């Protein structure tokens, strides 16, 4: 009796994976290996589920076993690179990716998969070289053009990115992503703007579709550039309303989380000895508050590696909380309550192990995951010599900047003004508590001062971090490092103050949000 085809095992694996049935997915992968040992599929599937369940060594061993007899299997080499990166073996991971690139020939799909890995590994220049090869092999593939354009944007090659997005539109004239990106990349003027193509595309998509959300955000930005503020707000409010309907978000959970954190860390702690030997720089605050700008400034210093938005701290904390509990915490509040009992040395060890491949080789490194503001006491427990830089911004400027940014599902509080106001109030309450129990351990840095008093503020920041002043920090916009956040265009420009008061064009529309903040005791002017 012949074995089922490989596609049947892939189907079973996909079903189990969608149900988070890790045991079933592992069994489907093992059955595929038994039936088709010479094919890479079963080895890859087994490695994928092992990596998803944090069994990194097992994941690596599976692809290594297949590579022993098929050393040029590109997909297994990419998976090997993923496993090695997860294990913190960055040099070996990049070597595996380069082996894959050498074996891929000019096959676009294979080059694309290697390029995606290199983007994940923050090796954007190598990724770009692969996307050049892929586009040369398949110049009429709009997806490859879009991916190359995004890497170009990360690297600050804005005109080249725009050229690629325009090529995408030549192939697919109503591509919502390309249209929105072109608006973001270039200031819209009366002589040169994309409003008509955006409106045309909007007329031909479903009213509540993801494409409609993108197009409304694009039109909001275009009309703001053109000074047509009523039209801009109309599209902005529509974009956010449509996006909010797509999300499952309960603002009460965020309020309860802040309450639980304040209960868990009620008072000042005694100083703890340092077990890590590291003095990382954590840049925290709300999104769109200037964290990317400050990360660029610090990453321009010869002693500092910019780690970017590392997801590592929250993964470390919740992983330790789960492993240390007698039973798995039932919900987010139980996880947060468990954080108070975590061993600081264990936090430091696991954080450093998880972030090893992203910390660079300079004496200091930054972690600008903005929402790390939730965990300030734990940062200082694990790393007594850490520095926390907290970016602040005018309340309405901050909220408006968040509201007009398309975050997909990253910040679900961003799409409804009352929910945004409530989150802002909770954030301010939590930061006030941290300042109370951690006096002089958190450095508040107003975005407005960074923009308007660049040299004085940069010197003050570097002094707080015990770093000597370097002129390169004042020319941060020349830093060639990739920027992958929503601020990738702005952070490539010399400082400008025009963003400080943009919210005033929408003061009337922001009135309900303002009233909600003021009723909570937050001063606006």
Mean pLDDT by 10 residues, the chain (525 residues): 83 92 93 93 94 92 96 96 89 95 96 96 94 97 97 92 96 95 94 96 95 97 97 98 94 95 89 90 95 93 93 91 75 89 94 87 93 95 96 97 90 96 97 96 96 94 97 84 66 69 95 97 91
* Boundaries of domain holding 384: 252-519
Do 181 and 154 meet the contact criterion of CB atoms below 8 Å apart?
Answer: no
Q: What is the pLDDT of residue 54?
A: 85
Q: Is residue 154 part of a domain?
A: yes
Q: Which candidate, 233, 143, 166, 125, places its Cα nearest to that of 509?
A: 233
Q: What is the pLDDT of residue 488?
A: 63
Q: Which of 130, 148, 179 is the last residue of a domain?
A: 179
Shared domain for 217 and 302, answered yes or no, is: no
Shared domain for 26 and 153, answered yes or no, is: yes
Angle at 284 between CA 435 and CA 451, to 5 degrees: 100
Q: What is the pLDDT of residue 269?
A: 76
What region, left, alpha or beta, does residue 310 occupy, with left being phi > 0 and alpha being psi -120 to 50 degrees? beta
Angle at 242 between CA 236 and CA 247, to 5 degrees: 120
464-471 contacts: CB < 8 A, separation 24 or more?
A: 464/387, 464/389, 465/281, 465/298, 465/364, 465/387, 465/389, 466/279, 467/301, 467/303, 467/304, 467/364, 470/300, 470/301, 470/302
Shared domain for 428 and 493, answered yes or no, is: yes
Q: What is the pLDDT of residue 462?
A: 97
Element counts in the chain: helices (H) and strands (E): 25, 5
Q: Is residue 485 part of a domain?
A: yes
Structural domains of the chain, count: 3
Q: Is residue 525 part of a domain?
A: no
Task: Go through 52-83 and write b for each residue having 16 or more CB atoms within 10 A of its CB, e for each that does not.
Answer: eeebbebbbebbebbbeeeeebbbbbbbbbbb
Q: What's the token pair of residue 402?
A: 């968040």
Q: Is residue 524 part of a domain?
A: no
Shared domain for 68 and 199, answered yes or no, is: no
Q: Is residue 1 part of a domain?
A: no
Cα separation, 360 vs 356, whole angstroms: 8
Q: Is 155 helix (H, G, I), strand (E, B) or coil?
A: coil
Q: Which of 246, 262, 280 is the last residue of a domain?
A: 246
Shared domain for 227 and 170, answered yes or no, is: no
Q: Is 487 helix (H, G, I), strand (E, B) or coil?
A: coil
Shared domain for 225 and 304, answered yes or no, is: no
Residue identified by tokens 């309550």 is 337
366 phi/psi in degrees, rounded to 5: -105, 155
Cα separation, 195 vs 177, whole angstroms: 14
Q: How many residues appear in the chain?
A: 525
Cα separation, 370 vs 292, whole angstroms: 9
Residue 21 neighbours by CB under 8 Å, 6+ apart: none
Q: Is residue 109 part of a domain?
A: yes
Residue 47 neighbours by CB under 8 Å, 6+ apart: 58, 59, 60, 62, 63, 79, 83
Tell me the CA end-to-end span of the chain in Å, nearest whole number: 79
Residue 114: its H or E element: helix 108-120
Shared domain for 166 and 265, answered yes or no, is: no
Shared domain for 242 and 139, answered yes or no, is: no
CATH number at 12 reads 1.25.40.10
Shared domain for 15 and 76, answered yes or no, is: yes
Q: Is residue 133 part of a domain?
A: yes
CATH number at 379 reads 3.40.50.300
Cα separation, 211 vs 193, whole angstroms: 19
Shared domain for 266 and 153, answered yes or no, is: no
Shared domain for 116 and 175, answered yes or no, is: yes
Shared domain for 343 and 418, answered yes or no, is: yes
Cα separation, 502 vs 500, whole angstroms: 6
Q: Which of 143, 160, 179 is the last residue of a domain?
A: 179
Q: Is residue 104 part of a domain?
A: yes
Cα separation, 418 vs 264, whole angstroms: 27
Dihedral through CA 354, CA 357, CA 361, CA 366, nearest 10?
A: -60
């Amino acid at each position: 009796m012949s074995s089922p085809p490989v596609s049947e095992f892939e189907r079973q694996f996909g079903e189990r994976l969608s149900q988070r049935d890790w045991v079933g997915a592992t069994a489907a992968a093992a059955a595929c290996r038994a039936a088709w040992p010479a094919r890479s599929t079963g080895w890859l599937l087994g490695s994928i589920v092992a990596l998803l369940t944090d069994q990194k060594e097992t994941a690596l061993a599976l692809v290594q076993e297949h590579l022993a007899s098929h050393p040029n299997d590109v997909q297994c080499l990419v998976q090997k690179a993923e496993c090695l990166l997860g294990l913190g073996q960055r040099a070996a991971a990049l070597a595996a990716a380069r082996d894959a690139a050498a074996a891929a020939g000019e096959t676009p799909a294979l080059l694309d998969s290697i390029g995606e890995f290199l983007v994940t590994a923050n090796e954007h220049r190598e990724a770009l070289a692969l996307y050049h090869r892929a586009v040369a092999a398949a110049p009429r593939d709009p997806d490859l053009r879009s991916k190359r354009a995004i890497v170009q944007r990360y690297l600050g090659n804005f005109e080249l990115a725009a050229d690629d997005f325009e090529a995408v539109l030549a192939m697919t004239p109503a591509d919502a992503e390309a249209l929105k990106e072109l608006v973001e990349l270039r200031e819209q003027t009366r002589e040169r703007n994309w409003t008509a193509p955006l409106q045309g595309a909007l007329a031909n998509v479903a009213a509540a579709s993801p494409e409609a959300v993108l197009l409304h955000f694009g039109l909001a930005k275009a009309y703001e550039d053109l000074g047509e503020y009523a039209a801009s707000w109309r599209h902005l409010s529509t974009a956010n309303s449509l996006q909010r309907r797509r999300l499952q978000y309960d603002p009460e959970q965020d309020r309860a989380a802040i309450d639980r954190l304040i209960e868990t860390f009620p008072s000042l702690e005694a100083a703890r000895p340092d077990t890590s030997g590291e003095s990382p720089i954590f840049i925290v605050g709300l999104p769109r508050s200037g964290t990317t700008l400050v990360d660029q400034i610090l990453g321009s210093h010869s002693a500092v590696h910019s780690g970017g938005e590392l997801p590592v701290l929250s993964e470390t904390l919740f992983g330790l909380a789960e492993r240390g509990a007698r039973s798995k915490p039932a919900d987010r509040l139980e996880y947060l309550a468990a954080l108070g009992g975590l061993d600081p040395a264990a936090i430091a060890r696991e954080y450093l192990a998880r972030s090893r491949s992203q910390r660079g080789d300079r004496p200091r490194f930054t972690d600008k995951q903005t929402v790390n503001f939730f965990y300030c006491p734990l940062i200082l427990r694990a790393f007594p010599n850490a520095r926390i830089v907290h970016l602040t911004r005018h309340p309405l400027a901050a909220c408006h900047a968040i509201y007009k940014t398309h975050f997909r599902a990253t910040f679900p509080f961003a799409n409804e003004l009352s929910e945004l106001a409530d989150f802002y109030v909770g954030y301010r309450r939590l930061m006030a508590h941290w300042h109370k129990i951690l006096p002089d351990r958190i450095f508040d840095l107003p975005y407005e001062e960074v923009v308007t008093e660049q040299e004085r503020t940069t010197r003050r920041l570097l002094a707080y971090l015990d770093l000597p002043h370097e002129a390169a920090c004042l020319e941060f916009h020349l830093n060639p490092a990739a920027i992958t956040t929503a601020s990738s265009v702005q952070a490539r420009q010399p400082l400008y103050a025009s963003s400080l008061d943009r919210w005033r064009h929408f003061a009337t529309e922001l009135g309900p949000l303002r009233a909600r903040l003021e009723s909570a005791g937050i001063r606006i002017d």
